[in-house]
């Protein structure tokens, strides 16, 4: 709120968001595939979510919110 966004800062934010999105998707996909393969093997009787699972969800929600803000700024121009 009240911040001045120049084309340069918006371009930098888009680049950074794109990097995080692309990298995160690749890493999340590989982790999900690995987990699914392990679960399909029936070698585990229990599955415990990691300590930071909620933090990952929160991060992605915040990223979505920030990307939506960028889209709103673009729409205003």
Tens digit of pLDDT per residue, the chain (77 long)?
A: 566 778 888 888 889 888 888 887 788 888 888 877 887 787 878 777 777 778 877 887 888 888 888 888 878 77
Cα–Cα distance measured from residue 33 to residue 35, given in angstroms and rounded to the nearest whole number: 5
Closest to 19 in 3D by CA, of 7, 27, 29, 30? 27
Cα–Cα distance measured from residue 49 to residue 43, given in angstroms and rounded to the nearest whole number: 17
What is residue 41's DSSP assignment? T
pLDDT at 1: 54
pLDDT at 2: 63
pLDDT at 18: 86
Residue at token pair 């889209």: 71
pLDDT at 33: 84
DSSP H stretches of helix in the chain: 7-40, 53-76
User: Is the pTM here over 0.85, yes or no?
Assistant: no
């Amino acid at each position: 709120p009240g911040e001045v966004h120049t084309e340069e800062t918006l371009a930098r934010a888009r680049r950074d968001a794109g990097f995080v999105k692309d990298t995160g998707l690749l890493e999340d996909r590989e982790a999900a595939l690995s987990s699914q393969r392990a679960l399909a093997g029936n070698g585990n009787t229990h599955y415990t979510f990691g300590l930071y699972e909620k933090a990952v969800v929160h991060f992605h929600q915040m990223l979505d919110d920030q990307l939506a803000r960028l889209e709103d700024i673009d729409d205003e121009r």
